[in-house]
Amino acid sequence: MSVIYKRVSLIGLGLIAGSMALAMRRAGLAGEITGYARSAETRDTAREIGLCDRICDSAAEAAKDADLVVLCVPVGAMEAVARDIAPVLKPGATVSDVGSVKRTVIEAVSPHIPDGVHFIPAHPLAGTEHSGPRSGFAELFDNRFCILVPQPDSDRAAVDSLAALWRGMGANVDEMDADHHDLVLAVTSHTPHLIAYTMVGVADDLRRVTDSEVIKYSAAGFRDFTRIAASDPTMWRDVFLNNKDATLEILGRFTEELFALQRAIRQGDGDHLFDYFTHTRAIRRGIIDAGQDTDAPDFGRAKAQKG
């Protein structure tokens, strides 16, 4: 593959930026990659592991002369970074981000983007529960979606270049409107994280009663279900503060369903439980058969069956 951007600047050097740097290198998509993170410790680690070609001591220094600047910081830090880099952005450059929420990031960043600079928000639907510059890996985006959220006045050629970069990093690219993105992600990512965090809190509460057995004997179900509760607290605090309405809407629906199941258990309504689980199993299996669950053990088989 050939170089898409001569100079790419990554601001915030954690899981996503680290994975982007490695994925861009794997395919030779960037001429030079510069990076900046707020803490000196993170910058030192990034230098030590050679994450970028150059690690700078300010966001502005990293963004200067860049053809693409990608904001890879927690959602609540996007505006401050945009303000810092605005004066050095060169005409024709593209600014993008990887934030898990889109509407508030657009509202916070857009006012700082100078005329002649393209702002194209994005969100790779790929991650792990790990964070920091050592957690990145080149394959993170392979076969995952990256959602681009072009703005009404976005330049098509600039959008196409960013899409080509994400495809080059292994992702499938789709476009979406910001509000739709935030609602979809509230269902598929944000509310599940909240529920996983809560379940670990419940287990911790019970620990006092069960004398540590909950943690010691944590069964596969608990482990599978709560892996994501080990995720970064700053990132997830910012996600919930910034996707408030959609998350509260989905949480309300979730609570209603949970109450219905709670009543069925109390009333011994086995038919209700059986029907509900039959329905939801079919939906979950449908996701695998449609080839959308790249983590599922039978993903390869499902894909092969489809030819």
Ligand X SMILES: O=C(O)C(=O)C[C@]1(C(=O)O)C=C[C@@H](O)C=C1
Ligand Y SMILES: NC(=O)c1ccc[n+]([C@@H]2O[C@H](COP(=O)([O-])OP(=O)(O)OC[C@H]3O[C@@H](n4cnc5c(N)ncnc54)[C@H](O)[C@@H]3O)[C@@H](O)[C@H]2O)c1
State the residues that interact with ligand X by CB under 6 A: 100, 125-129, 189, 228, 231
Q: What is the distance between the alpha carbons of residues 144 and 139, in angstroms, rounded to a whole number?
A: 10
* Closest C-alpha among 41, 1, 281 to residue 165: 1
Sheet of 172-175: strand order equals 122-124, 145-148, 172-175
Binding-site ranges for ligand Y (CB under 6 A)? 11-17, 37-39, 42, 72-75, 77, 80-81, 98-100, 124, 127, 131-132, 232, 235
Query: Which of ligand X, ligand Y, none sits in contact with 170, Cβ below 5 to 8 A by type?
Result: none
Nearer to ligand X, 86 or 125 (CB): 125
Contacts of 104 (CB under 8 A, 6+ apart): 75, 242, 243
Tell me how far, at minimum, the Cβ of 192 lies from ligand X, in Å: 7
Query: Which of ligand Y, ligand X, none sits in contact with 85, Cβ below 5 to 8 A by type?
Result: none
Nearer to ligand Y, 166 or 214 (CB): 166
Tell me how far, at minimum, the Cβ of 131 lies from ligand Y, in Å: 3
* Closest C-alpha among 109, 71, 69, 118 to residue 91: 118
Question: What element of type H or E holds 209?
Answer: helix 191-210
Question: What element of type H or E holds 118?
Answer: strand 118-119
C-alpha pair distances (Å), 109 with each of 94, 133, 285: 13, 24, 39
Nearer to ligand X, 56 or 146 (CB): 146
Q: Take residue 251 and report the two structure tokens written for it.
A: 């949480």
User: Which amino acid belongs to residue 306?
Assistant: K
Nearer to ligand X, 189 or 218 (CB): 189
Tell me how far, at minimum, the Cβ of 230 lies from ligand Y, in Å: 11
Return the biggest CA–CA distance within the chain: 67
Nearer to ligand X, 7 or 123 (CB): 123
Query: Which of ligand X, ligand Y, none sits in contact with 232, Cβ below 5 to 8 A by type?
Result: ligand Y
Tell me how far, at minimum, the Cβ of 76 lies from ligand Y, in Å: 8
Nearer to ligand Y, 34 or 289 (CB): 34
Query: Which of ligand X, ligand Y, none sits in contact with 15, Cβ below 5 to 8 A by type?
Result: ligand Y
Reported residue count of the chain is 307
Tell me how far, at minimum, the Cβ of 45 lies from ligand X, in Å: 21
Structure letter (DSSP) for residue 106? H
